[in-house]
Structure 1
């Protein structure tokens, strides 16, 4: 029994979404539609309702590729072979299907693969069709497309763009038609698609819930009527459904007759240039969409309004920020009028003496500071008052992919950050192995291994004789989340300039990115006489933001305790989940004046750094926040060498903010 579908013409609001869906139905080669929006905004309802309103199609009965019996050149190889043999193709008239693509779909399931059962029984290769074959001449619907593996999205968009599915895998070479209306939906809160994949969607719209209270009440009442008696409700809207269906059919027939002038084509390119788009796909899709709009409205020529509407649908996900204007530097600066040549000469004579005095003062201050730090580290700190300040959280930014060293360790888990080998049967098949661990048969490699020995082996009721030595298993790769531990210096020196403000902003930015990439993040802060875990392993942005806002800055620097505590968190989490991908980031100037074990503070920190270096499972980075000046200790650099960590120095960049360090170097 088929479930009744809510009528497309009864959808309240969301005119932009319904309009974009209709245009893709009129011209499936527009490249598909990406719908961005909140939950519960009728995205899935509209897609399924669209299929119900579209006209029926004729297909070859029993054909997995939904071939059109009236177009010989576009038939699949099997249907063509039947026609050549003089066999009449049986026909069936039916509604267009909506094929749902599950998030866990493998590449084999999407593209198609070798028919295993037929290969073993008959000893011949035969193609087993996938979801792209089922979607031909229909609708392929991907809910939460941003959570789908990137390589799966890529192959789907390739097929949608060419109208063909080309399969070259496991000894099978096969090509079949794959023309479908591609509809993807996503909630931006769950993460974004890569720009390269976004651009492949022809259209993109942003939708939200209805703001008008009267319209919301109308929506509730209509839905209540449908739930109470769906059959009567559908009958009440049947006339509107039929009118819409006929209008779509007339628009399809008018596509080849509608024209667009050179002036309108130039207008398409102008709008694309004004949006600073990359490449030329936007221009092409705007032109094609404008033609489709004119067809749907019953016009023979494209108008300026058609182009503007098309640009609104096509440019949303392609608009880029314009580049900054060039800065023209003056070769010579004007000499201040109040300074005479004699005054300047006197200043030049006084400069060496003044500079020498400043250098002596700096050396004395540094020497006094070192002696003071040594005395303080030897004495008890419990009765020394600490003056603390609370700095605001700096501006967040969109982080780029963090580079991690790839290894051959198989891991479990899920996420969207780093590629790793997996011991499960989920993930992309990249190669085969003779090792027997996962019971994940690589049939293509197994058949290739057995093929040379078939003449010498006895075969009883089988096409191929396979022995134990022929068995090969699949090696798969997938993306998993990382475990990032921040070890943050919150001592008094971090209050200088914008260090702590930018540090907080960078950490919050990483937390936002971690939420989208399914990472775990923890944070350790050290100040005064000890370090503490401010943020246990979590992905909660709300909790992290609150803790960052309230994090005070001030006091001495127990560096050794901070690094040790960060490493202890990673070790503890390894016992809970041995498959994690840990990354420890130390943000400090490297100065230490509080001992943890009674020795020299910095020497103790170096010992812990060497211990972390010997643990090859842990990736590390050190961000040096020490300001450049006449005297630089370079302690953070020494720590990075001892820890075998990536080292970043703020002064090496154009801007002396931590945000720039993270952007330019290791947030890739």
Structure 2
């Protein structure tokens, strides 16, 4: 007899969890009402998220199932049974089973989750049969997805659709089938790793925020309980058996009471008011809050939903649906506005201190450029008093439209949500097959289809299907990966003119937020005075990025060459660590330079640094010209763009969607 290689997991008792009352309540309400709609558990690592989910199954009563049914249908409810059970005549053979708990790993493929063609049946018997996936195995049970925010979006969509409808509809590989898929969907995630899309967040009925305990005695109690469990799990479970039984009986009583719980008319008004005050989008929040309030009342043993019941459960329903009121998001507080320094404040101040009044407007463009170069050289060789630095507030952030990129034909690796690319790994989505063989990623369905027309002419030798070498097909897979965006920001005194830095900060922050959602990595280099520094190393943290932007001062000279050289170093280091991520460098500057790192003229040195960057890296560059356009334009940003082989845009294109469209086009 073969022994199973699966070891039974010893479950930590659900009742023994300490300090996570909201988490326990949210899970127990789903035990009372499995059709509540799923729960999302957000919190930092090490807060018993996974432990609580695995312990939930023991709170659910054992269930009767149809023997031999892959979906373990309920023999007492044919209306929710699979097609085979509905067509069965007579009594079912039944058995008692524990509630199934199915884990879906982050690496799970779509065909494993939804089901696929049963290739064993196809090869042995030549029959087209369906092999149920994880959703079929989890019918009438629990699906648990750890780090659900890292799961591919299309798989999360499939799970949420099935959780809402109770059905899994499969149309693939010549198989068309619909089977029951009623399950409690439980997702856990660490917000530090990125969030779910708002559309997916709203689909979860409840959301629980969990944090580590700060009370010393409570932390000591957790340590003692965990040590006792690891020392002797059986004895620890026996110690908590009575509390487990009490919870289990309470769940059973609440299940029986649930259909009889009444919701008075005045509670509807309260629910509508709470959802309106939370500015929840759509009406799913209202519907879920009604269902959750009734379930919570049943859990407490109430036959009628009270106002206290609604107010107690509302935070779990609205935590992930609460939005800022429109008037707050559209208005910029007056206290954050900063006074505008005049155009080219730094340069004029230096000239006045040296007794040189600003020159009059030139008669032609060429003369002005000549005078500008002379001023640059003079500034570079003189030690003028530095101008006062000004810290500007963040510009108004905006909701970035979903950036869809053209498919990348070059195979890449990595993770993310933005760029669709071919991948040579076995974790991507299977999109088609090919006869060109490079890996051992066999496409069995395509191989069978290729061999099928030749079966009559081949010797079967007792085989239902004869496959030759020329029939073999491999899978072509696609996946989404993140990108690397490096912002090189001019923070010299001229950026303070007409509060250009406020607008620039707002655009960068908005793109950082979008990059956080799409799993992009973003970095920022700022240059001012006589040097450049990396303000933000490659990261996905919006909080850290926002802090850097808030504290970024403006003032001093313009060491453009130093900024480009520092950017070159950052890109070089990034490509060594993550050669598969597609980089793009966005330079926000007017293209002027008045500080050199060596003896050369500042502008010539900057152009030489730009040419070196273009020669070393075959990547995309974008120059956003921050110069205020008037009667005269120096066009130095365009010169810089030419040296880099980059596209050049004006300051007006930083507003709202413009910079996003620039980056989208560049990445495409």
Is the shorter-chain TM-score for this pair beyond 0.5, marking a shared fold?
Answer: yes
Contact map agreement 1:527 1:557 (CA 8 A) in 2: yes
Change (3 A) 1:135 1:562: same
Aligned-pair CA distance for 1:169: 1.1
Aligned counterparts of 1:242 and 1:540: Cα–Cα separation in 2: 45
Where in structure 2 are the equivalents of 1:510-521 lying within 5 Å? Answer: 518-521=519-522
- Cα gap change, 1:646/1:291 in structure 2, threshold over 3 Å: closer, same or farther? farther
The answer as to 2:198 corresponding to 1:195 is: yes
Aligned mates of 1:501, 1:326 — CA distance in 2: 16
Secondary structure in structure 2 of the residue aligned to 1:306: helix
| Corresponding position of 2:34 | 28
Alignment of 1:38 onto 2:44: yes
Q: Which moved more, 1:155-164 or 1:444-453?
A: 444-453
- Is 1:314 paired with 2:317? yes
Q: How far off its partner does 1:307 sit?
A: 2.5
Aligned residues of 2:516 and 2:540 also touching (Cα < 8 A):
yes
Aligned twin of 2:219: 216
In structure 2, the CA distance between the partners of 1:382 and 1:442, relative to structure 1 (3 Å rule), is farther
Distance in 2, Cα, partners of 1:203 & 1:230: 31
Task: Output aligned runs, 1:49-448, within 5 Å.
Answer: 49-79=55-85, 83-84=88-89, 89-324=92-327, 361-363=360-362, 370-375=369-374, 381=380, 384=383, 387=386, 392=391, 394-395=393-394, 400=400, 404-448=405-449
What do residues 329-382 of structure 1 show as CA deviations (whole Å, max 9, x unaligned)? Answer: xxxxxxxxxxxxxxxxxxxxxxxxxxxxxx995558999874443235567946
Between the aligned partners of 1:5 and 1:412, the Cα distance in structure 2 is: 36
Taking a change above 3 Å as real, the CA distance of residues 29 and 642 of structure 1, as seen in their structure-2 partners, is farther
Cα displacement (A) at 1:512: 7.1
Question: In 1, distance between residues paired with 2:386 and 2:365?
Answer: 21
Give the Cα separation in 2 of the matches to 1:252 and 1:512: 43
* Distance in 2 (alpha carbons) for counterparts of 1:62 and 1:486: 60
CA change 1:436–1:617 in 2 (3 A) is: farther
Q: C-alpha separation between the residues in 1 aligned to 2:439 and 2:385?
A: 57
Is the 1:373–1:593 Cα contact (8 Å) retained in structure 2? no
2:335 corresponding residue in structure 1: none
Describe the superposition over 1:141-192 as per-residue Cα deviations: whole angstroms up to 9, x where unpaired. Answer: 1112112111111111111111111111111222211111111111112111
Shift in Å at residue 260 of structure 1? 2.2
The answer for the alignment partner of 2:534 in structure 1 is 534
Deviation at 1:487, TM superposition (A): 2.5
| 3-state SS of paired residue (2:111) | helix
- Structure 2 distance, partners of 1:327, 1:552, is 26
Segment drifting more, 137-146 vs 549-558: 549-558
Deviations 1:449-471 (A, max 9, x none): 33334334443333333344433
Matched-pair contact (CA < 8 Å) for 2:110–2:429:
yes
Greater displacement, 561-570 / 224-233:
561-570
Alpha-carbon separation, structure 2, partners of 1:546 and 1:204: 27
Deviation (angstroms), 1:434: 3.3
Comparing 563-572 with 100-109, greater Cα deviation is found at: 563-572
1:554 aligned partner: 556
> In structure 1, how many angstroms separate the alpha carbons of the residues matched to 2:99 and 2:623?
57
Tell me how many residue pairs correspond in the alignment. 629
Render the CA deviation track for 1:287-312: whole Å, top value 9, x for unaligned. Answer: 11122122222333322222323322
d(CA) in 1 for partners of 2:45, 2:565: 43
Q: Deviations over 1:567-604 (max 9, x none)?
A: 57546755665422011101101234578999997688
Quick one: structure 1 residues 177 and 34, their matched pair in 2 at CA, closer, same or farther if it must change by over 3 Å? same
RMSD: 4.1
8 A contact 1:620–1:646 mirrored in 2? yes
CA offsets per residue over residues 92-139 of structure 1, 9 Å max, x none? 323223222211111111111112222222222221222112211111
Deviation of 1:411 (Å): 0.6
Among 10, 16, 24, the alignment partner of 2:22 is 16
Q: Which moved more, 1:450-459 or 1:277-286?
A: 450-459
Distance 1:553 1:419, change over 3 A: farther
Q: Is the 8 A contact 2:12 2:229 kept in 1?
A: yes
CA distance in 2, matches of 1:403, 1:592: 36
How far apart in 2 are the matches of 1:515 and 1:606? 33
Q: Which moved more, 1:21-30 or 1:192-201?
A: 21-30
Q: Given that residues 58 and 94 in structure 1 are in contact (C-alpha distance below 8 angstroms), is that contact kept between their aligned partners in structure 2? A: yes
Rounded to whole Å, the distance in 2 between the matches of 1:4 and 1:437 is: 43
Are the structure 2 counterparts of residues 648 and 267 from structure 1 closer, same or farther at C-alpha, using a change threshold of 3 Å? farther
The separation in 1 between residues aligned to 2:109 and 2:330, in whole angstroms, is 51
| CA distance in 2 between partners of 1:551 and 1:53 (Å) | 57
Once the two structures are superposed, what CA deviation does each residue of 1:416-455 show, in whole Å capped at 9, x if it has no partner? 4422221111111122333323332223333333333433
**1:525–1:533: 8 Å Cα contact kept in structure 2?**
yes
**1:547–1:318: structure 2 CA closer, same or farther, 3 Å change rule?**
closer
- Cα deviation for residue 315 of structure 1 reads 1.3
CA contact (8 A) 1:388 1:552 kept: no
User: TM-score if structure 2 supplies the norm length?
Assistant: 0.81
- Cα offset, 1:645, TM superposition: 4.8
- Give the unaligned 5+ runs of structure 1: 329-358
After superposition, the Cα gap between the structure-2 partners of 1:468 and 1:373, relative to the gap in structure 1 and judged at 3 Å, is same
Alpha carbons 1:393, 1:505 under 8 Å: kept: no
Q: Which runs of 5+ in 2 are unaligned?
A: 1-6, 332-357
Residues of 1 paired with 2:218 and 2:452: CA distance? 68
C-alpha distance in structure 2 between counterparts of 1:143 and 1:394, whole Å: 38
